[in-house]
Amino acid sequence: SDPHKRTLHNVWPEGTNEADKIFNQSEELRNILSRYGTHALWAAPLDVDVETPEKQLQPHTIVLSSFRIFFINADKQICGSYHFLDVISIESFTYSRVNFKFHPDVIWSCISEQTGNIVSAIHQHFHNSFPGNHFINIRVIPEDRLQPLQRTEGLICGGFLATYAAVCSYLGTTVREDVCWDITHMYSKGNRC
């Protein structure tokens, strides 16, 4: 079982999950993301600024999975896939534009009516995976567009289990069930975390 999945219920901004609408009840989305061994938790439509002389906008969908951000084009192809630990910064200085900077020097400039919801969903998800750590640079103006983080009650060992799963995903290693069992049953019960 996915130890991270237990910490994700009811953490997205209300009324913003459009994955089912965008991908016909998410069947297409499941097929697209199954290649990555993951599933969608949240999605929103946006337009991507393509570097052409005409400054053309192309429709995409941003999709959040357990540990990744995907950009999927109108042809249902993944154009970009980034782990949360690849995020350098997310900036939104207007109500309709958001810029993502990923390692190594990849920038996505996007336009959406949901920029506040997009940034808030990523911020919340990152907080769920790395509680107490703020090493992702998120700048939103005005700041009240960034929804307050929801408390993640009952995280096992202060969220260590979620962080462990996220780092394993980033490094491409398998989450060890024996380590998860130890954290869940031994350390959290004895309050030694």
Average pLDDT, the chain: 75
Q: pTM of the predicted model, to two decimals?
A: 0.75
Q: What are phi and psi for residue 137, nearest 5 degrees? A: -90, 105
Residue whose entry in the numeric block shows the structure tokens 């700041």: 143
Cβ 65 vs Cβ 40: under 8 Å: yes
Q: What is the pLDDT of residue 68?
A: 87
The confidence band for 2, taking pLDDT boundaries of 50, 70 and 90, is very low
Say what percent of the chain tops pLDDT 90: 9
In 15-96, which residue ranges form alpha helices assigned H by DSSP?
A: 19-22, 27-34
Tokens of 60: 């995409």
Residue type at position 113: E
What distance in Å separates the CA atoms of residue 42 and residue 44, rounded to the nearest whole number? 7
Residue 129: Cβ-neighbour burial (10 angstroms; 0-12, 13-18, 19+): buried
Is pLDDT larger for residue 51 or for residue 149? 149
**Does position 5 have pLDDT exceeding 50, yes or no?**
no
- What SS3 state is found at 86? helix
Q: Between the ranges 122-126, 173-177, 182-186, where is the mean pLDDT highest?
A: 173-177
- What pLDDT was estimated at residue 189? 53
Mean pLDDT value across residues 25-39: 69
- Position 99 scores a pLDDT of 92
Quick: pLDDT tens for 102-126: 988 888 999 888 888 888 888 888 8
| C-beta of residue 62 within 8 angstroms of C-beta of residue 29 | no
Helical ranges in the chain per DSSP H = 19-22, 27-34, 115-129, 160-171, 177-182
The helix-helix angle for 160-171 and 115-129 (nearest 10°) equals 100
